[in-house]
């Protein structure tokens, strides 16, 4: 109200806020209306379009009991609602076509799913407005846009999960390849080396009940991995004998030492 926003919506008859006099019953006259007012707040109206039926609406924009006589004595609130609800119905239909909603009993999660669906459609409208030449008059353009949007939003997280060492890592790699996030399964596998002490340890990626032990360890993090969950780094003898190039951190430390000595 303070931000100059108005509300016009239908009300369910089982809401406890609705007075008993506004509920549908057989004694009410056809095309009759009952109004309820809150000072400088809202207006509640109950209209009888059919016998034993009542339509209840709440409005913060209308403050009188005006009706349209030539249209079955409909209240002005109902006629205004019928004229302006088209956009809401169209948006609800579009959101139901491509939705991320899942079955849940938590109303906060259901509200979050609705926010995501509406935000995704708003992003599509902004994108088409800014890029009118993008897939003009092509069927299924919205589905392609949502797919590209979802891939761009989740690709960084998916790539981060590829580096994790857990029992489900192989399944994550398969999903990443199917979704197009990772194109080569071998590039994401860790290179291995034999452990220095020669001890056999449980593979970090295998389920515990397999009791699979190995002497291989990852070059990057040092965890134990078996042959199935690891890759092999091939180098020639000349490259193996070459000293490793200095890292960026070592070069920066050397440059700082030179500047301090000067």
pLDDT in tens, the chain (262 residues): 567 788 888 888 888 888 988 998 888 999 999 999 987 789 999 999 998 899 999 999 888 888 988 888 999 999 999 888 888 888 888 898 899 899 999 999 999 999 999 999 999 999 999 998 888 888 888 888 998 888 888 888 877 777 766 555 666 666 776 666 666 544 444 445 555 566 788 887 888 788 888 887 776 667 788 878 777 665 566 655 655 554 444 545 555 555 455 4
Domain count for the chain: 2
Say if 164 falls within a structural domain: no
pLDDT of residue 159: 77
The pTM of the full predicted model, rounded to 2 decimals, is: 0.49
Range of the domain at 200: 190-232
Closest CA relative to residue 79, chosen from 51, 49, 38: 49
pLDDT of residue 58: 92
Say if 99 falls within a structural domain: no
Say if 77 falls within a structural domain: yes
Say if 73 falls within a structural domain: yes
Say if 238 falls within a structural domain: no
Say if 224 falls within a structural domain: yes
Say if 204 falls within a structural domain: yes
Say if 197 falls within a structural domain: yes
Select from 68, 84, 100 the last residue of a domain. 84
Show the 3-state SS of the chain. CCCCCCCEEEECCCCCCCCHHHCCCCCCCCCCEEEEEECCCEEEEEECCCCCCCEEEEECCCCCCCEEHHHCCEEHHHHHHHHHCHHHHHHHHHHHHCCCCCCCCCHHHHHHHHHHHHHHHHHHHHHHHHCCCCCCCCCCHHHHHHHHHHHHHHHHHHHHHHCCCCCCHHHHHHHHHHHCCCCCCHHHCCEEEECCCCCCEECCCCCHHHCCEECEEECCCCCECCCCCCECCCCCHHHHHCCCCCCHHHHHHHHHHHHHHC
Q: Which residues of 209-235 are buried (b: 16+ CB within 10 A; e: fewer)?
A: eeebebbbbbeeeeebbbeebbeeeee
pLDDT of residue 31: 92
């Amino acid at each position: 109200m303070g931000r100059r926003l108005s509300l016009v919506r239908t009300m369910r008859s089982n809401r406890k806020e609705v007075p008993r006099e506004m509920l549908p019953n057989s004694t009410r006259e056809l095309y009759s209306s009952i109004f309820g007012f809150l000072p400088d707040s809202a207006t509640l109206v109950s209209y009888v379009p059919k016998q034993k039926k009542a339509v209840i609406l709440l409005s913060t924009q209308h403050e009188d009991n005006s009706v349209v006589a030539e249209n079955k004595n409909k209240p002005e609130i109902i006629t205004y609602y019928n004229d302006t609800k088209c956009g809401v119905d169209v948006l609800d239909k579009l959101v139901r076509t491509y939705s991320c909603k899942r079955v849940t009993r938590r109303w906060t999660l259901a509200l979050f799913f609705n926010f995501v669906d509406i935000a995704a459609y708003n992003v599509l409208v902004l994108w088409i407005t800014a890029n009118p030449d993008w897939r003009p008059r092509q069927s299924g353009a919205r589905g392609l846009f949502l797919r590209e949007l979802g891939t761009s939003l989740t690709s960084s997280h998916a790539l981060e999960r590829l580096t994790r060492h857990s029992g489900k890592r192989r399944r994550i790699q398969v999903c990443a390849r199917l979704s197009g996030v990772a194109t080569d399964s071998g590039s994401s596998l860790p290179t291995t080396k034999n452990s220095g002490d020669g001890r056999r340890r449980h593979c970090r990626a295998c389920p515990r009940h397999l009791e699979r032990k190995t002497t291989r360890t990852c070059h990057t993090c040092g965890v134990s991995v078996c042959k199935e969950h690891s890759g092999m780094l091939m180098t020639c003898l000349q490259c193996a004998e070459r000293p490793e190039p200095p890292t960026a951190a070592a070069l920066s430390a050397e440059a700082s030492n030179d500047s301090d000595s000067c």
